[in-house]
Amino acid sequence: MISKTLILLLTTFVLTSCQAQHENKKPDKSMNKETKPNNPYYSRTDTSKLDLPDSTWKKILPADVYEVARHAATEQAFTGKYWNFEGKGTYYCAACGNKLFRSDAKFASTCGWPSFYEPARPNSVIYKVDNSFGMRRTEVLCGRCAAHLGHIFDDGPPPTGKRFCMNSIVLDFVPDDSTRNK
């Protein structure tokens, strides 16, 4: 009787383990979600401008996204999720869902941050002079919500010669084949 119970328990354990392993092999769908918990303004299709007070952003964004997006913090080089990532797809603003970059324009950069030579659309981003830290740089902001994304430099590759040096934390990557994984 005991051995039968043991066998039943073992079988259940093995089956559960197999199921768990199988589930782990499925593609991560979380990055494909078109909505964000607590963020009613997030949309990958609505291009209308967002002008929200800082207190609202603080409420609806995760703390690490908020610090970069609204207070121009910079993530540490070589620590972000996309600096050496080569997936084919589209990068959206993590704060509002605005379409920002295509993977086709991403290039391997040694700076430690994801780098692109052009935005997905001319109005995907906006630019602002940044004289902080004793440097004269051009800040790159989201064209829809004005989130800080990073800076642009003139040492990029052809065809534009530009380097959009971005923070991974404010980017959401969606693979081209994501519709098949839904």
95 sits near Fe ion (criterion: CB under 5 A): yes
Q: Is 165 labeled as catalytic in the residue annotation?
A: yes
How many CB atoms are located within 10 Å of the residue 145 CB?
Answer: 20
The stretch among 6-14, 20-28, 146-154, 157-165 that binds Fe ion (CB under 5 A) is 146-154
Q: How far apart are CA 87 and CA 85, in angstroms?
A: 6
Q: Least distance (Å) from Fe ion to the CB of residue 41?
A: 9
**What's the order of all strands across the beta sheet hosting 171-175?**
99-102, 89-93, 171-175
The only residue of 65, 141, 142, 169 in contact with Fe ion, by rule CB under 5 A = 142
98 sits near Fe ion (criterion: CB under 5 A): yes
Map residues 32-71 to x or -, x wherever contact with Fe ion holds by CB under 5 A: ----------------------------------------
The only residue of 145, 149, 165, 171 in contact with Fe ion, by rule CB under 5 A = 145
Q: How far apart are CA 42 and CA 56, in angstroms?
A: 13
Q: Least distance (Å) from Fe ion to the CB of residue 9?
A: 52
170 sits near Fe ion (criterion: CB under 5 A): no
The stretch among 59-67, 86-94, 102-110, 125-133 that binds Fe ion (CB under 5 A) is 86-94
What's the burial of 85, exposed, middle or buried (CB within 10 Å: 0-12/13-18/19+)? middle
- Amino acid identity for residue 43 in this structure: S
- Annotated catalytic residue within 93, 142, 145, 165: 165
SS3 content of the chain, % helix, strand, coil (to 5): 30, 25, 45
CB contact set of 10 (below 8 Å; sequence gap of 6+): none
94 sits near Fe ion (criterion: CB under 5 A): no
- Which spans of this chain sit near Fe ion (rule: CB under 5 A)? 93, 95-96, 98, 142, 144-145, 147
Q: Which residues are catalytic?
A: 165
